[in-house]
Amino acid sequence: MPVFLFAMERETVAIIGTGDMGNSIGPKLAEKGYHVIYGSRDPAHKSVQELVAITGNNARATSQKEAAQQAEIVVLVVPWPAMQEVAQNLGNMDGKILIDVSIPIQQAEDGYLESMVETSSAQLIQGWNPGAKVVKTLLASSNVIDDPTILGGRVTSFVAADDRNAKETAARIVADLGLQPLDAGPLRHAQEIEAWARLWFVPAIQKSASKGFELAVLPNNLLVLHVAGRVVRARR
Ligand SMILES: NC(=O)c1ccc[n+]([C@@H]2O[C@H](COP(=O)([O-])OP(=O)(O)OC[C@H]3O[C@@H](n4cnc5c(N)ncnc54)[C@H](OP(=O)(O)O)[C@@H]3O)[C@@H](O)[C@H]2O)c1
C-alpha cells in the first residue's frame, strides 16, 4: 500500500519586524508548514518583498496591525524602544498568542548592561494586551537560529507563560526552529530570562569573545556553555 506523507497543518504566524530576527525566523517557520505574514512599517519595501519571496509557502507582507489581526500567533521582533508603540497598536489581541523575544537593555555606567524596565518586557506587553496569551522566550541569537548546529548541540531556549496551551505552542515553535525549549515557569520568570540575556553579552563586553555564549541544558544534567567556539562543560 502506498504511504502518503502530508505536511503537518500549522498555524498562521505574524512576524512583526523584518530585521535580523524576522529574517531568521520567517523562512524557517514557512519551511515547517506555518503560514507566515510579515508585519512591516513598509511592506512594499524591496527588502521586505525579497524576504517574502525567500520565505515561500504563500508568505505575504502587510502592515503590523493587519498581520497581527490575520494570525493566531504573533511574534514581536522589533527593538525594545519601539515596542510600546507597536504592541499597543496591534488591534484586538484577545485570545491570540503573543510571543516576546525582546531584550530591554541599556548600557550602565560600568559598561555592563542593565534592564530598562522594572519588571520585564513580557509583563509590560501583557499589561498592554490583557486579553492576549503572552509568552516569553528568547529563542537564541539569530546566527544560531540560522544554523542551530553551529555550536555543536541544541541550544536551550527558555519558555515562560501563564497560559499552558500558549506555552506548549510556543515550545513547539522553538523546537521547529531547531532549538531545545525549556519550561521556565510563569510569565513573571521573564525577568530571569531577560537577566540571562544580559549575561549573554558579558564575554563581548569583556572582549573575551566576539559573540556571547549559549546555554544547553541536557537531560543528564550537564550544562554546556559555548564561548565563541570554545566549549566549557560543567557538571551540576
Ligand atoms: N538579533 C538577535 O540575535 C536577537 C536575539 C534575541 C532577541 N532579539 C530581540 O529581537 C528583537 C528584534 O531584534 P532584531 O535584531 O531583529 O532587530 P532589528 O534587526 O533592528 O529589526 C527590527 C525590525 O523591527 C522593525 N522596526 C524597527 N524600528 C521600528 C519602529 N520604530 N517601529 C516599528 N517597527 C520598527 C523593522 O522592521 P520593518 O522595517 O519591516 O518595520 C526592523 O527591521 C529585539 O527586541 C531584540 O532584543 C534579537
Residue with CA at minimum distance from ligand 1 atom 26: 78
pLDDT tens digits along 23-38: 999 999 999 999 999 9
pLDDT tens digits along 38-79: 999 999 999 999 999 999 999 999 999 999 999 999 999 999
Ligand 1 atom nearest to CA at 24: 16
Of 15, 21, 135, 198, the one to substitute when testing ligand 1's pocket (max ligand atoms within 8 A of C-beta) is 21
Listed by start position, the domains of the chain span 12-187
Residue with CA at minimum distance from ligand 1 atom 11: 77
Pocket of ligand 1 (CB under 6 A): 17-22, 40-42, 48, 77-80, 82, 86, 101-103, 138-139, 141-142
Q: Do 53 and 29 contact (CB within 8 A), yes or no? A: no
At the topology level, CATH places domain 12-187 in Rossmann fold (3.40.50)
Looking at residues 121-134, what average pLDDT do you find?
Answer: 98
pLDDT of residue 221: 53
Average pLDDT along the chain = 88
Cell numbers 555550536: residue: 151
**Alpha helices (runs of H) in 56-148, residue ranges in sequence order:** 64-70, 80-87, 121-128, 142-146
Q: Do 126 and 132 contact (CB within 8 A), yes or no? A: yes
pLDDT tens digits along 141-200: 888 888 887 777 788 899 999 999 999 999 999 999 999 999 999 999 999 999 988 988
The string over 16-32, giving b where at least 16 C-beta atoms fall within 10 Å of a residue's C-beta and e elsewhere, is: bbbeebbbbbbbbbbeb
Measure the CA–CA gap between 88 and 183, rounded to whole angstroms.
27
Beta bridge partners of 227: 213, 230
Ligand 1 mean position to 82 CA, how many Å? Answer: 9
pLDDT of residue 33: 96
Beta bridge partners of 74: 14, 98
Q: Kindly state the cell numbers that stand for 234.
A: 560543567
- Looking at residue 130, the DSSP 8-state letter turns out to be T
Q: Kindly state the cell numbers that stand for 39.
A: 508585519
Of 15, 20, 120, 155, the one to substitute when testing ligand 1's pocket (max ligand atoms within 8 A of C-beta) is 20
- pTM for the full model? 0.92
